[in-house]
Amino acid sequence: MFASIGKGQVKLMRVKARAIYKENKHNMRLIPTGGGWGLFGLNTVQPGIKTVVLTEGEYDAMAVYQATGLAAVSLPNGASHLPLQMLPWFEQFQKIYLWLDDDLAGREAAAKFARKLGIKRSFIVSTKSFSGEGPKDANEALLSCSHEGMKQFIADAKPLAEENITTFRELRQEVYQKIIKHKEETGIMSNSFKWFNEKTKGFRRGELSILTGGTGSGKTTLLSQLSLDFCEQNIPTLWGSFEIKNDILLKKLLLQYAKCDLIAQPELFNEYADKFQELPLFLLKFFGSTDVDKILDTMDFAVYAYDIGHIVIDNLQFMLSGQAQGSNKFDLQDNVIARFRAFATDKNVHITTVIHPKKVDDDSDLSVSSVFGSAKATQEADNIFIIQNRHKYRLIDVRKNRFDGEVGRSGLGFNKATSTFFELTNQEISELRNNAEITINDIIKLRGQQQ
């Protein structure tokens, strides 16, 4: 049991119950649900101290304090989020050492928090050598290094480089890390879709993705399922639903999260709702046509306040409806896409936007040129996904992948009870196409019998 104590060091804000082994990590609980935030380790911060170490976990904070004697506090919920309400507490320090996990997620979070806390006083600790060898975090470092070695990690910490000018010399180690740890750099893998991992190589910050598909093809359903997948992996997510109301979207997301038919079993609602509300999921209150400046301002605040990593815009046409006429509609959309592209890059967040296709023959497959508007959107996008309609099932068609160029298709079936898509095997697709009596429900039942 670990206690997060408020900045007055008097009030117990929350308790975190942690499992002993990594395989039980999903059993971690924050008690009470929806309680306030605090920082573990505040008892190590004595009055007048001007230096503090911020770690990713409680064990790391204890390791740093034990080995170095420096005041050490831990983030309340891992590297995904530094609560806005805790920032004033850090104003008392002249130096803040950010000792997060020395992996892709940890390095990205450290850079993000350094900007949040102040670049000039923030120093990032690295435990990996130039060759990529070394402990992942402070806890591992304590097990493998002497106390002097731990202190040396602190002494070697470096601030973020000047953002506007750089050289290969400054980025040499980062480039080397990308080469020797290519798999780590690919991104966060989906737990729901093998096709996503094989084709796109994972979810990466700083990218812009476009999803399109015909009316009723399941664009919102697929995107909500994918976004939930990464949200469950602690990627703070901001949804902008401009076509359907937030309560309807949340119903879909909750059904997908529960992975069972809550419509038929409403008595299970509270059990899943209590867990669901703890996810780092946020929603824009805008609906329908909305001024893009307001949206970008809100996105900017959300990234700062909640450390948002994934922003979903569903969909671009509803967001911009009625704001321009004729050819001006294309100019407006191009401008918005350019601003989204710049935002994704500057803030290091992934933006996924739904864009309806142009009107095409119902019997024809959609292509990249089917995306509504000029070529600007598809040129700016890092990834383009198209849902192709088929009788009885859908195809997810990856048409652009800037990361490594791999594209391709996979079959998807739809489970109405859980409002989720699932991948079809080649044999199942063949049966659906060649046997008029076989339905998706038959495949779902057969899979259930085989489990």
Distance CA 310, CA 240 (A): 11
* Other residues' Cβ atoms within 10 Å of the Cβ of residue 209: 24
State the 10-residue block means of pLDDT for the chain, 451 residues long: 49 72 70 76 90 94 95 89 87 95 88 91 86 84 92 92 75 78 79 95 96 94 97 96 95 96 94 93 95 95 94 94 85 94 96 91 85 89 96 96 94 95 95 93 88 66
Per-residue model confidence (pLDDT) at position 26: 66
The residues with which 147 forms a beta bridge, in sequence order, are none
CA distance 258 to 256: 6
- The helix (H) or strand (E) run that includes residue 392 is none
How high is the pLDDT of residue 352? 98
Residue 78 to residue 30: CA distance in whole angstroms: 12
CA distance linking residue 107 with residue 157, whole number of Å = 13
Tell which residue, 99, 178, 180, has the closest CA to residue 133.
180
Q: What gap in Å lies between CA 436 and CA 295, rounded to an integer? A: 47
pLDDT of residue 22: 67
pLDDT on residue 5: 52
Domains of the chain are 49-182 (3.40.1360.10), 192-450 (3.40.50.300)
Cα separation, 193 vs 230, whole angstroms: 11
Rounded Cα distance, 396 and 390, in Å: 11
Cis omega (within 30 of 0) on the bond before 266?
no
CA distances (Å), 229 to each of 77, 91, 183, 237, 397, in order? 18, 35, 20, 10, 19
Q: How far apart are CA 44 and CA 40, in angstroms?
A: 9
Strands 122-124 and 72-74, sheet pairing: unpaired
pLDDT in the model for residue 131: 58
Q: State the number of CA atoms in the 13 A half-sphere of 53 facing the CB.
A: 31
Longest dimension (CA), the chain: 77
The reported pLDDT for the residue numbered 2 is 47
